[in-house]
Amino acid sequence: MTVKNILITGSSRGLGKELAEHFLHQGYNVYGCSRSNGKIEHNNYHHFELDVSSATQVTEFFFILRKKIKHLDAVINNAGIASMNAFALTPPETFKKIFDINVQGTFLFCQKALGLLKRAKNPRIINTTTVAVPLQLEGESIYAASKSAVEMLTQIIAKEYGGFGITCNAIGPSPIETNLIKGVPKDKIAKIIEQQSIKKMATPADVINLVSFFLKPESSMISGQIIYLGGISK
Amino acid sequence: MERLEILELVLNAIEMTNNMREEDQQIPRESTTELYGNNGHLDSMGLVAFLIDVEESLLDEDLQITLSDERAMSQSKSPFRNVDTLVCYIDMLVKELPL
């Protein structure tokens, strides 16, 4: 049986690290990347230090990856940054940084991975969005706008890559205890959870469950879908 | 990489494309074959898939070349018109690569 190869961006901590560890446990070869060094010690884990928003670095990364593997079963675009700020006070530098990493990073990995994905039997792209989009959360205008862009990329990529048998979906986790929300005040988190149908914090296992569902060969008819956790919908 | 080798690589990519196509939609494996545009055998998504196969084959030869960038799109005559023009374009890009 061919070993499956999965690529996870932002795999040095938080959800990305949890995903990487889960798929290593499942017997996958995991290719991870982040700006910092890898924190996972495993024979089947391969870490690359790079900036996901740099076209040069991502192109070089895929050039190296292409020498190591002949196909890629899945890309999980997990790397992302958030910033809480009133719209009127958001510096242009913050806007650029968030769009560079969240949108351009996703764009680059979806584009550069195409050649390797095409060679897999059931190729998958899974992007990451946020409940800040459907909830239109105040203080998260730029973050939510960047993830809206990711959602639209997801849906159009699903159409354009559909002919190659590649599905492209996005997951919008509700609040989870990760670094991404460590700066968000507790009462704001409580307010978000109050708007959910299922009023509790999500766990990495909830995201892993949905990722695993998208990865199943039987999920080949599911593409262009944005699924939020916690019972939130648009 | 010599021009004849590039031609062979492109023709092999046509063969890969043909493997995915019906019998009555086969693309002739010839240097004069029209690829894209009037009388071309490929639609826009077909061209994308074909160019990716060519890029992948070039990577197999350790040649990192992007075919469908702004430069290709801005040419007054598309380099993707036929096999010959594509081979010519790749040859030019290969010669520009740092040694």
pLDDT band at A216 (very low <50, low <70, confident <90, very high): very high
CATH class of A5-231: alpha beta
Determine contact, residues B72/B78, Cβ cutoff 8 Å.
yes
Closest CA to B52 of A113, A75, A154: A113
> Rounded to whole angstroms, how far apart are CA atoms A89 and B8?
58
Give the count of Cβ contacts less than 8 A between chain A and B. Answer: 18
What is the pTM (predicted TM-score) of this model? 0.89
Closest CA to A174 of A153, A195, A150, A154: A195
Determine contact, residues A219/A191, Cβ cutoff 8 Å.
no
pLDDT band at A179 (very low <50, low <70, confident <90, very high): low
Cross-chain residue pair A66–B52, CB shorter than 8 Å: no
- DSSP classification of residue A138: T
- DSSP classification of residue A4: P
Closest CA to B15 of B67, B53, B62: B53
pLDDT tens per residue across span A59-106 = 999 989 988 998 999 999 999 999 889 999 999 999 999 999 999 999
Number of neighbours of residue B99 by Cβ within 10 angstroms: 2
* pLDDT at residue B35 is higher than 90: yes
Determine contact, residues A115/A66, Cβ cutoff 8 Å.
yes
- E strand intervals along A115-165: 124-128
- What pLDDT score does B76 carry? 77
Number of neighbours of residue B36 by Cβ within 10 angstroms: 21
CATH class of B3-22+31-96: mainly alpha
* pLDDT at residue A151 is higher than 70: yes
Determine contact, residues A57/A51, Cβ cutoff 8 Å.
yes
Residues of B with CB below 8 A from A118's CB?
49, 52
Q: Which of A59, A60, A66 to mutate to test the interface with B (most CBs of B within 10 A)?
A: A66
pLDDT tens per residue across span A16-42 = 999 999 999 999 999 999 999 999 999
Structure tokens at A212: 């695993």
Buried b (16+ CB within 10 A) or exposed e, B22-35: eeeeebeeeeebbb
- Tell me the mean pLDDT in the region A106-111: 97
Percent of chain A scoring above 70 in pLDDT: 99
Closest CA to A166 of A211, A116, A207: A116
Burial of B73 (0-12, 13-18, 19+ CB in 10 A): exposed
Give the CA diameter of chain B: 43
Cross-chain residue pair A163–B49, CB shorter than 8 Å: yes
- What pLDDT score does A127 carry? 98
For chain B, how many residues are written? Answer: 99
CA distances, B70 to each of A200, B51, B67, B79 (Å): 48, 14, 9, 12
- What pLDDT score does B9 carry? 97
- The domain segmentation of chain A, as residue ranges, is 5-231
Burial of B10 (0-12, 13-18, 19+ CB in 10 A): buried
- What pLDDT score does A7 carry? 98
Which parts of B1-99 fold into alpha helices (H)? Answer: 3-19, 44-60, 70-74, 83-96
- What pLDDT score does A87 carry? 95
- What pLDDT score does A180 carry? 64
This model of the complex carries an ipTM of 0.72
> Rounded to whole angstroms, how far apart are CA atoms A125 and A219?
12
> Rounded to whole angstroms, how far apart are CA atoms A51 and A72?
20
- From chain B residues 54-83, the ones with a CB under 8 A of any chain A CB are 55-56, 59, 64, 66
- Tell me the mean pLDDT in the region A151-176: 96
- Report yes or no: A66 at the B interface, CB cutoff 8 Å: yes
Higher-scoring residue by pLDDT: B15, B68: B15
Cross-chain residue pair A63–B56, CB shorter than 8 Å: no
